[in-house]
């Protein structure tokens, strides 16, 4: 049975439920919007039309249908119909208002009847709904088709991005049992700077100054953290510290990094074509980037065998590289890197892998999303080398949680551990000098 038939069958089942008294009964307004949208599509055909011309056209169609069908809706209902039709034709349907809302950071469509958003780090269930499964699927196709991507039964998962850079993931039946699922991680139109992270409480001025010095001194840095912890945002901020005269190669699955330097080359992976061929992976791009005379390599995220190529690049003169990885702590990151290197297919002894990691990585920036939705850099940790079979880590800055307020707000403080990093001579050799008390004072 084709995907469309399955969706239609599920839609008919849902329609029967609505007829038998379901709470989600389609209103007269919704029925009218469906008919108006169909008529608008028929009248426009393949005609290209901008927003200024489209609005009067929609209003004319709506008024004409009101007269034909002798319908009486309130002014607010009429305005709502016109606005939603505008979103349907020019935007992404019911979720377009959330895409326009700067306070919304993530949109999660769990089938046609359930849409969640993340605002200020907290999840909210909205009252927005799609008409049916096919409606959600149409919006997904509207996103992926212009990018040359496809989604169907043979390829029921896809990663894509919106024109503004927002990251999109979609997964559809038969893999998704609730109907088509759409997740959008919104991209900030104004790239955040270190001052923004300080204002949000993600780190302190002392920590930001230290990280800027480390980037300028060409240390190899990995930003580690869980999903939604803000790794990419922090990577973007760290990348902004790279001097403008350097050649930077960025490598990503879906382009999210937006560097402001002049000499930036952005590379993006490619999924397989209809025949299942033509895949270009992060690992392929890392290898190619080494032949492009980079001063810096910035990889959006390492999650597999490309970790070995990244470590080898860091160890062979391409210092100052930056990347992110999923891990819950700096120590956990080391274990994850070992596993990712083994995924490359190279039969290397564990000690050899650990030596590669210890000599390649200089600094780990651990980021977490706390229970109240705030994002904090919880550790800035130096990789000091090997002692026996173990990689030695030393925290330079940490975030200590001290309690939770009645409203759920997490209380805590940032503090320096009092340890001076072993790589300080490298910073001084580059002419970078930090305040003498930066490693000893507490920042609340």
Q: Which fold has domain 93-189?
A: Beta-Lactamase (3.30.450)
pTM confidence score: 0.79
CATH topology of 93-189 equal to that of 194-430? no
Tens of pLDDT along the chain (444 residues) come to 555 555 555 555 555 444 444 444 446 666 666 776 666 666 665 555 555 666 676 777 777 776 666 666 677 776 777 777 777 777 888 899 999 898 899 999 999 999 999 988 789 999 998 988 998 998 999 898 887 778 888 889 988 888 888 889 999 999 999 899 999 998 777 778 999 999 999 999 999 999 999 999 999 999 999 988 889 999 999 999 999 999 999 998 877 788 889 999 999 888 777 677 888 999 999 999 999 999 999 999 999 999 999 998 888 888 999 999 999 999 999 999 999 999 988 888 999 999 999 999 999 999 999 988 899 999 999 999 999 999 999 999 999 999 888 788 899 999 999 999 999 999 999 999 998 789 886 554
pLDDT at res. 270: 83
Q: Which pLDDT value is given to residue 164?
A: 82
d(CA 109, CA 182) in angstroms, rounded, equals 5
Which of 248, 361, 242 is CA-nearest to residue 296?
A: 248
Residues in the chain: 444
Closest CA to 257 of 202, 191, 197, 309: 191
Q: What is the pLDDT of residue 71?
A: 67
Q: Where are the domains of the chain?
A: 17-90, 93-189, 194-430
In angstroms, the Cα distances linking 146 to 136, 150, 151, 160, 272 are 17, 10, 12, 10, 16
Order of all β-strands in the sheet with 115-119: 122-125, 115-119, 104-110, 181-185, 167-171, 157-161
Choose among 185, 168, 182: nearest CA to 128: 182
pLDDT of res. 18: 46
- pLDDT at 223 (0 to 100): 97
Joined together, the tokens standing for residue 255 give 């382009």
Contacts of residues 327-333 at CB distance under 8 Å and 24 or more positions apart, as own/partner, are: 327/224, 327/225, 327/366, 328/226, 329/224, 329/366, 329/379, 330/224, 330/364, 330/366, 330/379, 330/381, 330/393, 330/395, 331/393, 332/224, 333/222, 333/224, 333/364, 333/366
Could you tell me which of 376, 373, 9, 396 has the C-alpha nearest to residue 179? Answer: 9
**Rounded Cα distance, 286 and 281, in Å:** 9
Does the 194-430 domain belong in CATH 3.40.50.300?
yes
The pLDDT assigned to 210 comes to: 96
Q: Cβ–Cβ contacts within 10 Å for residue 64, how many?
A: 12
Q: Are strands 115-119 and 104-110 parallel, antiparallel or unpaired?
A: antiparallel
d(CA 298, CA 323): 6
Rounded distance between C-alpha atoms, residue 392 and residue 286, angstroms: 27
Q: Which of 347, 340, 427, 416 is nearest to 381 (CA)?
A: 416
* pLDDT at residue number 25: 40
Contacts of 155 (CB under 8 A, 6+ apart): none
- How far out from the chain centre does Cα 129 lie? 24
pLDDT of residue 3: 56
């Amino acid at each position: 049975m084709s995907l469309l038939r399955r969706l239609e069958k599920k839609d008919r089942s849902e329609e029967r439920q609505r007829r038998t008294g379901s709470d989600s009964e389609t209103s007269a307004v919704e029925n009218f919007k469906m008919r108006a949208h169909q008529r608008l599509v028929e009248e426009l055909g393949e005609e290209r039309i901008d927003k200024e011309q489209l609005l009067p056209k929609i209003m004319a169609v709506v008024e004409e249908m009101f007269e034909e069908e002798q319908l009486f809706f309130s002014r607010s209902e009429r305005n709502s119909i016109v606005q939603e039709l505008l979103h349907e034709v020019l935007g992404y349907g019911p979720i377009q208002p959330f895409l326009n809302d700067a306070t919304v950071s993530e949109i999660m469509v769990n089938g046609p009847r359930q849409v969640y958003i993340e605002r200020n780090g907290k999840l909210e269930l909205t009252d927005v709904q799609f008409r049916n499964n096919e409606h959600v699927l149409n919006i997904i196709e509207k996103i992926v088709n212009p990018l040359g991507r496809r989604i169907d039964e043979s390829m029921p998962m896809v990663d894509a991005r919106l024109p503004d850079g927002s990251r999109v993931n979609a997964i559809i039946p038969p893999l998704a049992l609730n109907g088509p699922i759409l997740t959008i991680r919104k991209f900030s139109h104004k790239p955040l700077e270190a001052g923004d992270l300080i204002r949000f409480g993600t780190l302190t001025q002392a920590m930001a100054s230290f990280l800027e010095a480390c980037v300028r001194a060409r240390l190899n840095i990995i930003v580690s953290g869980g999903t939604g912890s803000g790794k990419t945002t922090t990577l973007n901020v760290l990348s902004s510290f790279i001097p403008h005269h350097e050649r930077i190669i960025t490598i990503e699955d879906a382009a999210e990094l937006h560097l402001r330097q002049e000499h930036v080359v952005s590379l993006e992976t490619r999924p397989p074509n209809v025949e299942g061929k033509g895949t270009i992976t992060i690992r392929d791009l890392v290898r190619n980037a080494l032949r492009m005379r980079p001063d810096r390599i910035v990889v959006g995220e390492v999650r597999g065998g490309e970790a070995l190529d990244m470590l080898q690049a860091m160890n062979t003169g391409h210092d100052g590289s930056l990347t992110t990885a999923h891990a819950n702590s700096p120590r956990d990151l080391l274990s994850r890197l070992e596993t990712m290197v083994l995924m490359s297919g190279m039969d290397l002894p564990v000690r050899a892998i650990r030596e590669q990691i210890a000599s390649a990585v200089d600094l780990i920036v651990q980021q977490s999303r706390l229970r109240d939705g705030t994002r904090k850099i919880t550790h800035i940790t130096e990789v000091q080398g090997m002692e026996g079979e173990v990689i030695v880590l030393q925290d330079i800055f940490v975030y200590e949680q001290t309690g939770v307020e009645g409203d759920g707000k997490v209380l805590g403080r940032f503090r320096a551990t009092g340890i001076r990093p072993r790589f300080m001579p490298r910073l001084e050799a580059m002419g970078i000098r930090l305040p003498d008390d930066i490693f000893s004072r507490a920042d609340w």
